Structure 1
Amino acid sequence: MTIGRFNIELLEAFVAVAESGNVTRAGSRLNRTQPCVSTQLKRLEERVGKALIERNARTMNLTAAGRILYQHATEILRSHEEARLRLAAPELTGTVHVGLPEWYATDKLQSIFCNFVKIHPHVKLELTVADSATLHDMLARNEINLAIALVSSSEKSKPAETVEEALHWAVSEDCTLTDPLPLILFPEPCPFREMVFSALAGAGRQWYERITTTSVAAAQVAVRSGAGICCLPSGALLDGFKVLKEQHGFPALPATELAIYTPSTNQSPIVDYLEEHLNALLQSATAPHSALAGKIQPDLRVV
């Protein structure tokens, strides 16, 4: 069987559906109508000669052919985007210092920054990984040029563009779930603490603080060892973690908000360009299985 040449727009539609979970969200992500995305997906399947997605009333699942194409399509689109950015990129020279929360410093996100310096070989990139409170303090002291950080409830005005990230109760399979619950927490002023205390109190649960750490990596090790229950954002969940839900007796947690911050509006062209690029990246993170949230699962669940 001969397969026709792949079209970039068709691959974009397919990957958007795979990562967004349904055609409607894919259309919003691509700024295309739902019928347009459906048509492009059908055209791609006709070109491949095989079904790529199995659909029923409640779920959408990648077929075996769909999983194979997804792996290659993401690489094709990544290479296409890098070429497009290199050709369109302005000439930038200088140093930019960026701050990231620890759980957001994923391989895929860091690869975004590595590609940025590849596209701009005369730019030096400095990365600081720290908690959001520290990053806000560094911004206030003009020690960093840009940060992706949690939106604080004490802020007088919320940033214009934010992205929500879900919080989860994470445990290992052998962790005790009887009261008082052993908690793994981050120290003040971590906003997760009050969310945890308020949610557990509302559910009538009792708890005690077993481990307090400033390190997301240390909290992940503690969870994996069965030492306790930890409130973690989607991007910090690891393979093997069990996520507790309301049917387990754990109330839903409110989502956190992330935004891009800069010390002032008078930034260098490097910071302006990087901020614009990252804003688009953060908006795509609203997909349930986005690149920023870790691994893409082969199954698509429509909620």
Structure 2
Amino acid sequence: MTIGRFNIELLEAFVAVAEAGNVTHAGSKLNRTQPCVSTQLRRLEERVGKPLIERTARTMNLTPAGRILFQHATEILKSHEEARLRLSAPELTGTVHVGLPEWFATGQLQSIFCNFVRIHPNVKLEMTVADSATLHDMLSNNEINLAIALVTPAKPEPAGVVEEQLHWAVSEDCSLSDPLPLILFPEPCPFRELTFRALASAGRQWYERITTTSVAAAQVAVTSGAGICCLPSGAIQEGFTLLKEQDGFPALPATQLAIYTPSKAQSPIVDYLEEHLSELLKNAIAPRSALAGKNQPDLRVV
């Protein structure tokens, strides 16, 4: 059987449904109506000659052919977007110094900046990985040009805030009896107060077993069974157990990340990066791959 050429809009509809888990949410993401997305899925299945999604009254699942196409379609759309950006982007030359929170330093946010320098080969990227308090200080001192950092009341409310859920992370080897052994980050990390307040509301007792400035060290401590740690979705690793209310641990709120730049005038590189970063972030963090079964950070743009 010969399969015809793939249409970008049909692939966009298919990937959006696979990521969102249903046609309605996919249509909202693409700015298309539900009937339009359903028609595009049907046309793609006709072109492939095989069903891509199994539908029941309550669930949707990718077929074996759907899983194969999903892997290729995501790469095709990524390449298509990069080509579009490269052709439409202005010529930029110079250096930009950005700051990232540690738990995303090797993940999705870093990939955004790496894609940026691929699109702009004459731009040199310098990257600092640090806690949000340090990044805010560096911004105030004009030591970095742009940062993704936790929202702080000390700064004016930014636009394009990204919410990220916090979790109680533990390994199966850790005791859940009071007093609870905690793995914490030092002041002024906002996760500390959130942890104390949540446990107090549940009437739990605890003690501070490990304090570290390193997210990687906290992850190792959790894996070893040394204690319980409040971590954002981006820091959750395979093998972690996420404790819920039924386990005696109250739900934690979402934390917020935003794009910050110093108050002084910026270079064209920083202006362009700031302007487009919200869209890039949205595209990078929106995929949940609900049907494809991928585990990705629970992030949403507000």
Report the identity percentage: 82
The one-letter amino acid paired with 1:139 is L
Aligned to 1:87: 87
| Preserved CA contact (<8 Å) 1:104 1:236 | yes
Structure 1 stretch displaced more, 62-71 or 109-118: 109-118
SS at match of 2:207: strand
SS at match of 1:282: helix
The Cα of 1:121 is off from its aligned counterpart by: 1.6
Aligned to 1:272: 271
After superposition, where does 1:250-265 map in structure 2 within 5 Å?
250-264=249-263
Give, in whole Å, the separation in 2 of the partners of 1:86 and 1:16.
Answer: 23
Aligned residues: 293
Give, in whole Å, the separation in 2 of the partners of 1:164 and 1:115.
Answer: 22
Task: Give deviations 1:144-169, integer Å, cap 9, x for gaps.
Answer: 111011111344x3112211111111
The Cα of 1:274 is off from its aligned counterpart by: 1.1
The Cα of 1:257 is off from its aligned counterpart by: 0.9
The structure-2 alpha-carbon separation of the partners of 1:56 and 1:245, relative to structure 1 and needing over 3 Å to count, comes to farther
After superposition, where does 1:133-212 map in structure 2 within 5 Å?
133-155=133-155, 157-212=156-211
The Cα of 1:131 is off from its aligned counterpart by: 0.6
| Preserved CA contact (<8 Å) 1:29 1:284 | no
| Preserved CA contact (<8 Å) 2:165 2:233 | yes
Task: Give deviations 1:157-189, integer Å, cap 9, x for gaps.
Answer: 311221111111111111111111111111111
After superposition, where does 1:50-129 map in structure 2 within 5 Å?
50-129=50-129
Structure 1 stretch displaced more, 192-201 or 50-59: 50-59
The Cα of 1:285 is off from its aligned counterpart by: 5.5
Give, in whole Å, the separation in 1 of the partners of 2:52 and 2:95.
Answer: 44
Give, in whole Å, the separation in 1 of the partners of 2:207 and 2:168.
Answer: 15
The one-letter amino acid paired with 2:216 is A
Give, in whole Å, the separation in 1 of the partners of 2:17 and 2:110.
Answer: 24
Give, in whole Å, the separation in 2 of the partners of 1:267 and 1:31.
Answer: 33
Aligned to 1:245: 244
Q: Check if 1:283 corresponds to 2:282.
A: yes
Structure 1 stretch displaced more, 122-131 or 21-30: 21-30
SS at match of 2:92: coil
Aligned to 2:300: none
Give, in whole Å, the separation in 1 of the partners of 2:24 and 2:128.
Answer: 37
| Preserved CA contact (<8 Å) 1:165 1:286 | no
| Preserved CA contact (<8 Å) 1:163 1:285 | no
Structure 1 stretch displaced more, 207-216 or 26-35: 26-35
Give, in whole Å, the separation in 2 of the partners of 1:109 and 1:165.
Answer: 13
The one-letter amino acid paired with 1:190 is C
Give, in whole Å, the separation in 1 of the partners of 2:24 and 2:98.
Answer: 34
Give, in whole Å, the separation in 1 of the partners of 2:134 and 2:252.
Answer: 24
| Preserved CA contact (<8 Å) 2:20 2:26 | yes
Aligned to 1:301: none
The one-letter amino acid paired with 1:32 is R
For structure 1, the residue ranges without an aligned partner over 5 or more in a row are 299-303
Q: Please, what TM-score do these two structures have when normalized by structure 1?
A: 0.91
The Cα of 1:297 is off from its aligned counterpart by: 4.1
Aligned to 1:28: 28
Give, in whole Å, the separation in 2 of the partners of 1:205 and 1:237.
Answer: 23
Give, in whole Å, the separation in 2 of the partners of 1:160 and 1:107.
Answer: 23
The structure-2 alpha-carbon separation of the partners of 1:107 and 1:161, relative to structure 1 and needing over 3 Å to count, comes to closer
| Preserved CA contact (<8 Å) 1:161 1:259 | yes
| Preserved CA contact (<8 Å) 1:167 1:256 | yes
Give, in whole Å, the separation in 2 of the partners of 1:288 and 1:11.
Answer: 14
Give, in whole Å, the separation in 2 of the partners of 1:288 and 1:176.
Answer: 34
Q: Please, what TM-score do these two structures have when normalized by structure 2?
A: 0.91
Give, in whole Å, the separation in 1 of the partners of 2:163 and 2:219.
Answer: 21
RMSD, matched Cα: 1.9
